[in-house]
């Protein structure tokens, strides 16, 4: 879930209701939830990460868990529509990572999470100026490994 600074509402995608993984998209605005019906959307999942990119004015969703596997796909959400991106490079599949915008450097930052083989401590950046590519940071060996949620 994240705030859409362009359309001025909170967007929630997917989750787990105790028996099934969900692929629904919700808008929260003026104290009310409204379910959206985009033509295309990411597959059902929980534990994905999502952040708003204030420079490019859209939200980016990455990864998650579908009940069987961790996922490594990248989606953007703008104007009520999901579009799957196909970056030239991408982080490994993961769930429980965290992502936020870095306004000073004008990109999104993704950190850590868990893969099917264990915890991750890498740091990646994403921006549309690099054709929507994910990049690793050179100093990611000095990452805050203690912040990984297991």
Q: How far is CA 133 from CA 16, 82, 93, 107, in A?
A: 29, 18, 15, 11
CATH class of the domain defined by 2-147: mainly beta
pTM: 0.90
Q: How is the chain split into domains, by residue range?
A: 2-147
The two tokens of residue 115 are 């893969």
User: pLDDT tens per residue, the chain (150 residues)?
Assistant: 999 988 899 999 999 999 999 999 999 999 999 999 999 999 999 999 999 998 889 999 999 999 999 999 999 999 999 999 999 889 999 999 999 999 888 899 999 999 999 999 889 999 876 656 788 765 545 556 544 444
Instruction: Report yes or no: 13 and 24 within 8 Å, Cβ to Cβ.
Output: yes
């Amino acid at each position: 879930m994240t705030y859409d600074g362009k359309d001025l509402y909170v967007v929630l995608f997917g989750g787990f209701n105790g028996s099934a993984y969900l692929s629904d998209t919700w808008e929260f605005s003026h104290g009310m939830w409204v379910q959206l019906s985009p033509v295309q959307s990411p597959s059902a999942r929980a534990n994905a990460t999502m952040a708003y990119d204030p420079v490019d004015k859209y939200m980016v969703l990455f990864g998650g868990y579908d009940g069987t596997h961790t996922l490594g796909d990248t989606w953007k959400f703008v104007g009520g529509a999901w579009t799957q991106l196909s970056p030239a490079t991408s982080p490994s599949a993961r769930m429980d990572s965290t992502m936020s915008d870095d306004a000073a450097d004008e990109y999104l930052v993704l950190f850590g999470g868990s893969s099917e083989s264990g915890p991750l401590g890498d740091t990646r950046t994403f921006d549309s100026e690099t054709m929507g590519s994910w990049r690793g940071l050179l100093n990611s060996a000095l990452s805050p490994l203690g912040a990984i949620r297991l």
